[in-house]
Structure 1
Amino acid sequence: MSWVVVARKDFQDARLSRGLWAVTGLFVLMSVGFAVLYGTVPAVSQDIGEVSTLGFLTLLIGAVTLFVSIAAIVVGAGAIAGERASGSGKLLLGFPHSRADVVLGKLVGRTAVLGAAIVVGLTITLVVALALFDSFAPVDYAVFTAMTLVLALVYIGVMVAISATTGSGGRAMAFGIGAFVVLEILADIVPLAALFVVNGFSVPSGGAAVPAWVAFLNVITPSTAYTNALGWFLGDGSATAAALGAQLAGPVPFYLTGWASMAVLAAWLVVPLALGYRRFARADL
Structure 2
Amino acid sequence: MSTLVIAKKDFEDAVRARTLQVMVAFFVGFTTLLFHYHRSRLGEERTFDILFDGIVGMLGVVVPILGMMVGYRAIVGERESGSLKLLLSLPHSRLELMLGKFLGRSAIIVVTMAVGFALVGVQTILFTDLFSLPAFLFAAGEITLFGIIFVAIAMAFSTAMRSSMKASIGALGLTVLFSFIWDFLYGLVHQFVDPIQIDPETGIGSPDPGPNWLFLLKRFNPRHAFYEPSSYSVKEPIPFYLDPWFGWVIVAFWLAVPLGLAYRRFERSDLS
TM-score by length of 2: 0.90
Q: For residue 263 of structure 2, what is the aligned residue in structure 1? A: 277
Q: For residue 160 of structure 1, what is the aligned residue in structure 2? A: 155
CA distance in 1, matches of 2:193, 2:211: 9
Q: For residue 224 of structure 2, what is the aligned residue in structure 1? A: 224
Give, in angstroms, the shift of residue 191 of structure 1.
2.6
Check conservation: 2:67, 2:150, Cα contact below 8 A: yes
Which one is further off, 57-66 or 91-100? 57-66
Could you tell me the percent identity over the aligned residues? 30
Q: For residue 69 of structure 1, what is the aligned residue in structure 2? A: 64
Determine helix, strand or coil for the equivalent of 1:218. Answer: helix
For residues 15-38 of structure 1, what are the alpha-carbon distances to aligned partners after superposition, in whole Å with 9 as ceiling and x for unaligned? 122332222122111211122223
Check conservation: 1:158, 1:269, Cα contact below 8 A: yes
Query: Structure 1, unaligned stretches of length 5 or more?
Result: 229-239
For residues 167-199 of structure 1, what are the alpha-carbon distances to aligned partners after superposition, in whole Å with 9 as ceiling and x for unaligned? 212221111111112222332233333333334
Aligned positions of 1:31-180 closer than 5 A: 31-39=31-39, 41=40, 44-48=41-45, 50=46, 52-180=47-175
Check conservation: 2:182, 2:221, Cα contact below 8 A: yes
Check conservation: 2:60, 2:179, Cα contact below 8 A: no
Q: For residue 231 of structure 1, what is the aligned residue in structure 2? A: none
CA distance in 1, matches of 2:144, 2:66: 13
Read off the aligned partner of 1:28 and give its amino acid letter.
V
Q: For residue 4 of structure 1, what is the aligned residue in structure 2? A: 4
CA distance in 1, matches of 2:83, 2:115: 31
Check conservation: 1:27, 1:67, Cα contact below 8 A: no
Check conservation: 2:193, 2:210, Cα contact below 8 A: no
Q: For residue 232 of structure 1, what is the aligned residue in structure 2? A: none
Read off the aligned partner of 2:158 and give its amino acid letter.
S
CA distance in 2, matches of 1:46, 1:92: 56
Query: Structure 2, unaligned stretches of length 5 or more?
Result: 198-204
CA distance in 1, matches of 2:118, 2:257: 32
CA distance in 1, matches of 2:190, 2:140: 34
For residues 80-113 of structure 1, what are the alpha-carbon distances to aligned partners after superposition, in whole Å with 9 as ceiling and x for unaligned? 0101010111111111110000110011000001
Read off the aligned partner of 1:79 and give its amino acid letter.
A
Read off the aligned partner of 2:42 and give its amino acid letter.
S
Q: For residue 261 of structure 1, what is the aligned residue in structure 2? A: 247
CA distance in 1, matches of 2:179, 2:112: 21
C-alpha RMSD over aligned residues: 1.8
For residues 229-275 of structure 1, what are the alpha-carbon distances to aligned partners after superposition, in whole Å with 9 as ceiling and x for unaligned? xxxxxxxxxxx5xx522223556433123211121111011100100
Give, in angstroms, the shift of residue 63 of structure 1.
1.2
CA distance in 1, matches of 2:184, 2:50: 27
